[in-house]
Amino acid sequence: MNKSAITKIVAGSAVAVAGASSGASAQENLEGFYIGGSLSMPQGGSYDGYDGGTYTDESGVAGLFGGYNFVSGNLVYGVDVAIHSGIDLDTGYADNLKGLTDVRGRIGTVFGNTFVYASVGYSFVDLGNPDTSEDDYNLGSDSGLSLGLGFETSLSDNMFVGFDYTHRKLDREWVEDKFEARDLNTATLRVGFRF
């Protein structure tokens, strides 16, 4: 074996080791607590017999999130909690949401410096007009299953930016024994810090 071939083998091995070390390092950096802020574009559909159709809050909705990641081999998994401010779907007070809370489990893996994940959880919303605190607009609450996909790209050892899409099926039993179901989807930009 000539010197050129040996050099190529050594160089190739060094690149492979460096790549593996980089991937392992990226996963290790994910373990632990994280917090951040978000901006969401909600889209909802009402099926309560009053306002059928699909509606979007085009102003965007601010929120906060936090959670904890565990790392096991190539898997990254953990718990994520997100709180969103009032959502106005422009369909009348019955389809406005005073607040939205998501509690989810996430699981995924790392590609380079990007964490790609799927999520499943449960969501809770308070019904009513987000622009008023009057009792007349407090209409109870909805809750239901959520499913989502997303990714987070590390900008440094501690800071990351990500995108999340979550679909929710929210159910409620009205006082008049009338069943309501509504879909609520959010496309969300997230910026956070790990520590």
Per-domain boundaries in the chain: 3-194
H or E segment at 123?
strand 114-127
Share the mean pLDDT of the chain.
77
Instruction: Provide the residue type at 55 as one letter.
Output: Y
- Say yes or no to pLDDT of 7 above 70: no
pLDDT for 113: 92
pLDDT for 25: 61
Q: Which of these ranges, 60-64, 115-119, 162-166, has the smallest mean pLDDT?
A: 60-64
pLDDT for 93: 41
- For residues 73-80, average pLDDT: 95
- For residues 4-30, average pLDDT: 50
Q: Which two tokens stand for residue 30?
A: 């994910």
- Say yes or no to pLDDT of 181 above 90: no
- For residues 18-31, average pLDDT: 60
Residue 176 DSSP label: T
136 touches 114 (CB < 8 A): no
What is the secondary structure of 49-66 as a DSSP string?
SSS-EEEE-TT-EEEEEE
Q: What's the pTM?
A: 0.76
- Say yes or no to pLDDT of 57 above 70: no
For the chain, the first-to-last Cα distance in angstroms comes to 49
CA angle 86-91-96, nearest 5°? 20
pLDDT for 98: 73
Other residues' Cβ atoms within 10 Å of the Cβ of residue 193 = 14
Residue 190 to residue 83: CA distance in whole angstroms? 12
H or E segment at 157?
none
Domain 3-194 architecture: Beta Barrel (2.40)
Q: Is 93 helix (H, G, I), strand (E, B) or coil?
A: helix
- Say yes or no to pLDDT of 80 above 90: yes
